[in-house]
Amino acid sequence: MRQSGQPALATARPHRNRLLRRDVARPHRFGQAIGMARSIGTAVVSAPDGVPSAGAGPDAVTPRGMMPSIKRTKFKLSHQQLLEMYYWLKLIRAFDERLSTLVKQGKVRSGVYTGIGQEAIVVGTCFGLRKEDYVCPLHRDLGTFLMKGVTARAMMSQMFGKATGLSKGRDSALHSGVSELGIFGNTSMLGANLPVAAGLALTFKMEKTDNVVVAYFGEGASNVGDFHEALNFAGVQRLPVVFICENNQYAYSVPIEKSMAIEDVAVRAEGYGFDGVAINGNDVLAVYQATLGAVARARTGQGPTLVECKTYRWHGHSEHDKAFYRTDEELAIWKSRDPLTTFTSYLEGMNVLTGERLTEIETRVKSAIDDAVEFATNAPDPAPEDAVTDLYA
């Protein structure tokens, strides 16, 4: 919310408004070497030949940082696959929105860190993964669990702290993994999932599989030591890991310009000997395309990639944070780049999404969420005697 007396966004925080700014190209040396220097204000990752980007338009991107060869990755998605992507975007949005309501109703008492506004990152990164590939999600990445195969019922039970949840009621957040689905649950230690991701990738390499690891972190986490150790190790060992930075501009109340002196987290990859790219994280196809390229490189022994997805979280850090540290104007700008609305328009423009299909998808989403809430509400609490089971220490 905007504080009284606070000047308008553009004058108060020119840096914060950078995603609207036109600027001159600042090509990275890798980019120059492969002739990929480009101008600020154009699409960062262009869609494959003949397929327009689903992005929110030129204002929605900040193409700074490096442009590795993944820019040229081509892909084809059938209408069915595009609609599947759309379903996931809708489901994940609806799940988080319902959780937000449940917190306000006092029905969910855990810390809820929604990813509303950031869904394109989860969907674009998980869509092309295999079951055997691992994800190492963050506190905002509930959608990765759903996309890797956890049911909405189990996920809702987890958030309710019920016995039917992933951690059987011992926790009510995302601190739980499902190894058979390739999900390594996060801990609360920011950045700590990244060395673990590198370790998982080392296992894949030593076992000579072509599985990959996709690890998520915020721009805030990229300032902690674990991030740098993990990227260094992954670079030295050429590990099959894709580092996905969800740059939502804030680490709790701290805006990015107060925590780092660079514009793009992506440039940090260069220090560890591999490529990084900054893309429009609100464009699900751009995220899908960049991940596809990075995953292909990882699978074929070409090592890690850092993909920085520029985005914004609509809600506060958690549901108890009213986010007074930002302005209404800033939020409105980012809401106008809603990954869901832009993808809806894109699909409608291509005649992939018709009124009938939209109703069908919305009905499916609503019934999945309603069913999950009902299931979790009626599910049993954990039994006291179970407190000492499943312990390894």
Neighbours of 77 (CB within 10 A): 17
52 and 342 in contact (C-beta within 8 Å)?
no
Does 268 help bind ligand TPP (rule: CB under 6 A)? Answer: no
- Among ligand TPP, Mg ion, none, the one that 224 touches (CB under a kind-dependent 5 to 8 A) is ligand TPP
Does 251 help bind ligand TPP (rule: CB under 6 A)? Answer: yes
Give the residue closest to ligand TPP by C-beta: 218
- Report 307-326 residues binding ligand TPP (CB under 6 A): 317
Does 248 help bind ligand TPP (rule: CB under 6 A)? Answer: yes
User: Shortest CA distance to 227 belongs to which of 260, 178, 180, 182?
Assistant: 260
- Cα–Cα distance for residue pair 160/370, rounded to 1 Å: 14
* Nearest distance, CB of residue 281 and ligand TPP, angstroms: 12
β partners of residue 307: 244, 277
Q: Which two tokens stand for residue 106?
A: 């006092």
Does 136 help bind ligand TPP (rule: CB under 6 A)? Answer: no
Does 140 help bind ligand TPP (rule: CB under 6 A)? Answer: yes
- Cα–Cα distance for residue pair 293/232, rounded to 1 Å: 21
* Nearest distance, CB of residue 248 and Mg ion, angstroms: 4
103 and 321 in contact (C-beta within 8 Å)?
no
Does 246 help bind ligand TPP (rule: CB under 6 A)? Answer: yes
* Nearest distance, CB of residue 263 and ligand TPP, angstroms: 15
Distances (CA, A) of 156 to 182, 370, 378: 19, 10, 11
For Mg ion, the closer CB: 79 or 335: 335
- Cα–Cα distance for residue pair 188/221, rounded to 1 Å: 11
- Report 186-225 residues binding ligand TPP (CB under 6 A): 188-190, 218-221, 224
Number of residues that bind ligand TPP (CB under 6 A): 15
- Among Mg ion, ligand TPP, none, the one that 326 touches (CB under a kind-dependent 5 to 8 A) is none
* Nearest distance, CB of residue 243 and Mg ion, angstroms: 15
* Nearest distance, CB of residue 247 and ligand TPP, angstroms: 7
For ligand TPP, the closer CB: 297 or 317: 317
**Positive or negative CA dihedral for 278, 263, 317, 314?**
negative
User: Shortest CA distance to 127 belongs to which of 191, 176, 187, 54?
Assistant: 54
**Quick one: which segment of 99-107, 183-191, 202-210, 266-274 binds ligand TPP (CB under 6 A)?**
183-191
Characterize 270-292 residue by residue with b for buried, 16 or more Cβ atoms within 10 angstroms of its Cβ, and e for exposed.
bebebbbbbbbbbbbbbbbbbbb
Site for Mg ion (CB under 5 A): which residue of 248, 280, 289, 305?
A: 248
**Quick one: which segment of 48-56, 123-131, 240-248, 361-369 binds Mg ion (CB under 5 A)?**
240-248
**Quick one: which segment of 40-48, 100-108, 245-253, 298-306 binds ligand TPP (CB under 6 A)?**
245-253
Does 264 help bind ligand TPP (rule: CB under 6 A)? Answer: no
For ligand TPP, the closer CB: 12 or 224: 224
**Quick one: which segment of 123-131, 192-200, 244-252, 339-347 binds Mg ion (CB under 5 A)?**
244-252
- Cα–Cα distance for residue pair 157/42, rounded to 1 Å: 43
Does 155 help bind ligand TPP (rule: CB under 6 A)? Answer: no
Q: Which two tokens stand for residue 149?
A: 């195969």
Q: Which two tokens stand for residue 205?
A: 């390499």
HSE, CB side, 13 Å, CA atoms: give it for residue 318.
9
- Report 206-225 residues binding Mg ion (CB under 5 A): 218-220
Query: How are beta strands 250-251 and 254-255 bridged, if at all?
Result: antiparallel
346 and 129 in contact (C-beta within 8 Å)?
no
Q: Which two tokens stand for residue 5?
A: 């007396």
Residue 6, amino acid: Q
Does 305 help bind ligand TPP (rule: CB under 6 A)? Answer: no
Give the residue closest to Mg ion by C-beta: 218
Question: In the complex, which residues of this chain contact ligand TPP (CB under 6 A)?
Answer: 140, 188-190, 218-221, 224, 246, 248, 250-252, 317
Question: In the complex, which residues of this chain contact Mg ion (CB under 5 A)?
Answer: 218-220, 248, 251
